[in-house]
Structure 1
Amino acid sequence: MNKPFSLSQDERIKSRKQIDRLFKGGGAKAMSAYPLRVVYLTEPMGEDESTMAQMMVSVPKRYFKRAVKRNHVKRQVREAYRLNKHILHEALAKDEATDNRHKTSLCFIWTSEQLASTDTVAEKMRNLLTRIAERIAGNNKNTSAE
């Protein structure tokens, strides 16, 4: 397992197929905590997969024309995820304990024309990850009750 506060390459979405499943597959859910929006998809984990959650960040060019600002926002979002991903991993670990192994793909999308402080981004990230973890826990209760 990785160090608890690292964000390795395995934890990032790099596959075009995975991105297409996330946005075109139809099973994805979304939620917002301004200025962040997250689109996520939970699917069964394959035998050869080891990562429970993978993420990516998107900052549209229409909000920040300069790449410097887009990169700054991406850095803030990745850092906030790196420090708070344990919230999601705990919910997925409980899922795994019931032999119901799932992986979650997340895409964080910036939705504001304004830059935000790092503390604000971290707070919104905690909010989103907590809500996703609650939904995953709720889905586990529903599937185990059937």
Structure 2
Amino acid sequence: MDTFKKEERLCNKRLIDGLFHNGSSFLCYPFRVTWQYATTPQPHPAQVVIAVAKKRFKHAVDRNLIKRRMREAYRLHKQIALYQALQTADKHIIMSLSYIGKEIMPFDVIEKKMLKLMQQLNEQFSR
């Protein structure tokens, strides 16, 4: 059973600002992924920040529900779909997963899209 530890979350404000200014991004509806290679050594192959826009979802319960579903989908698939590829390439990344959908999607849809975006991410850094 894999967990989603504090060290895997991106909390450093300076790193987050750098990510949004210098990172590469792509869309995988309902997500926008912004990522870049980590400059500082990290305990995990990837650090992630998960965001849902307050502008789109006014109620905190809705934002929290979406974030919970995103975190769970990420937690379930990160090891196989993301970490293995990063470790074989000996790379470390930081990334932001922003939910840009207009409605709350069921977990199975979010999970499928999360797998798709992880495959797209693998293609991006395998180039």
Question: 1:143: which partner in 2?
Answer: none
Aligned residues: 126
Residue 82 of structure 2: aligned partner: 88
Residue type matched to 2:89 in 1? D
Q: Which has the larger radius of gyration?
A: 1
1:51-96 Cα deviation digits (max 9, x unpaired): 2100111101111100000000000111111011121101111112
- TM-score under structure 2 normalisation? 0.93
Measure, in 1, the Cα distance between the counterparts of 2:29 and 2:17. Answer: 24
Find 1:118's aligned residue among 104, 107, 114: 107
- 1:11-53 CA distance string (max 9 Å, x none): 00011011011012x2x1111121111111113453xx32210
- Normalized against structure 1, the TM-score is what? 0.81
The runs of 4+ residues in structure 1 deviating greater than 3 Å are: none
C-alpha separation in 2, matches of 1:123 and 1:32: 15
Alignment of 1:124-143 (within 5 A): 124-138=113-127
- The root-mean-square deviation of aligned C-alpha atoms, in Å, is 1.3
Show structure 1 runs of 5+ residues with no match.
97-101, 139-146
Amino acid at match of 1:22: L
Same amino acid, percent of matched pairs: 29
Query: What 5-or-longer segments of structure 2 have no aligned partner?
Result: none
| 3-state SS, counterpart of residue 92 of structure 2 | strand
